[in-house]
Amino acid sequence: MKATRSPWAWIPTLYFSEGLPYFAVMSLAVIMYQNMGLSDKEVAFYTSWLGTPWIIKPLWSPFIDLIRTKRFWVLAMQGLMAAAFACIAFFLPTPFFVQATMACFALMAFASATHDIAADGYYMLALTTKDQSFFVGLRNTFYRCGSIFGQGVLVMLAGLLAEGHIIPSVKGDIALAWALVFYLLCAIFIGLFLYHSLAMPQVEKVETEKSSSKQLIRNFLDTVVTFFRKPHIGTALFFILTYRLGESQLGKIAPLFVLASPEKGGLGLSTTQVGAIYGTLGVVALLLGGIVAGIMVSRKGLKYWILPMALAINVPDLLYVLMAWMQCTNLWIVGLFVAIEQFGYGIGFAAYMLYLIHFAQGPYKTAHYALATGLMAAGMSLPGMIAGYMSDWLGYTHFFLFVCLCTLPGIISALIIRKQLPTSFGKEE
């Protein structure tokens, strides 16, 4: 049954709450650990390992289909993430902060991965196919807004706190500055939990019969087998794993590059400046990219636009080569380049997620979508683990050239996928 309440009431906040914890783990933690004194290699490797729950989430995705409702799981995981953020804040000022916060981040990653499964399943159940296509740009825009809020606003807040501009007594205390940021995240997720308790309509009936463990295992195996028996599974896997191969490494090193000193080949920007760039020009460009993508696909379909969208997400990576080569420290130029990259990402990422929705259609579509996004996470986390070693070995300029070479398989896979997409998919009738 489809929701009667307007999707505008819950899609923006639901996908903001889906994106924010992921980027808190994969991006915000990168800058935090760098500020706390860890090396680039340690930061890239540790935070990439934290992406494991998003890779293996298909192992428990069938249980989300079979136990309670998607709405229940969304609300429960938002409450758990609020608790995890509070624990990170509590442990940051301690001498053993690395071990303790890594454990808390791991718990939050598990809760966030489970939240993703439930939220995406709820999206597909609550909306018609036409509405799913129309709102894909909006949901991806607000998902990325979670990224910008984490990489931009919260980073800038941490920098301002550490510099003493907001609370003078915090000046110089990096651990306390970041702890206050994570307490704020805890408060945000408590608010999201309360809002979604009211705003998300009931679209599922609660099952009164409990499945046996054998039935759960049988259904799980069935979801995996049917997923890998889907038509064109080989080319689909190639697309899912390579579409963001370049971005998976760029996204891990880019914030470390802009924060690194010029002596190390970086731009030497402050934490506050980095947050300001990603949280202002970046967010405007991202919003525009997501909105434009939704309009493009709804008018002419994904098949028509998938190659231009693949170019939009990959080609702007060349701008980082230029910044590293020029050692550009002009905030306006850096901001413009970030805005162009974010605009392209907003367009290209919409195509990626819409393809996953298309590929997941059929029985167990929630679980199949979770399998696809788990593979997507593997395509981000595994290359990210070696990104720090590659940037140290090659230097920032040559590393970004290497990233650009890594975008070629994704563009090729988009060409292959284009031939297999129905002309009408995503097009407004």
**pLDDT reported for residue 216:** 67
Please tell me the distance from the alpha carbon of residue 410 to that of residue 429, in angstroms, as a whole number.
29
Average pLDDT value for the chain: 86
pTM: 0.75
Nearest one of 322, 302, 344 to 129, comparing CA atoms: 302
Q: Which domains does the chain have, with CATH numbers?
A: 8-199+215-420 (1.20.1250.20)
- Per-residue pLDDT reduced to its tens digit, 197-215: 998 888 776 544 445 556 7
- Per-residue pLDDT reduced to its tens digit, 66-114: 778 889 999 999 999 999 999 999 999 999 999 999 999 999 999 998 9
Please tell me the distance from the alpha carbon of residue 403 to that of residue 90, in angstroms, as a whole number.
37
Cβ atoms of 371 and 59 within 8 Å: the answer is: no
**pLDDT reported for residue 335:** 87
CA angle 79, 178, 392 (to 5 degrees): 110
- Per-residue pLDDT reduced to its tens digit, 114-143: 998 888 888 888 887 777 777 877 787 788
- Residue 314 Cα to chain centre, angstroms: 16
Please tell me the distance from the alpha carbon of residue 371 to that of residue 374, in angstroms, as a whole number.
5
Please tell me the distance from the alpha carbon of residue 385 to that of residue 19, in angstroms, as a whole number.
21
Lowest mean pLDDT among 175-179, 267-271, 307-311, 424-428: 424-428
**CA torsion, ordered 18, 377, 324, 157, to nearest 10 deg:** 20
Cβ atoms of 395 and 217 within 8 Å: the answer is: no
What's the average model confidence in pLDDT over 406-427?
A: 87
Residue linked to tokens 């902060």: 97
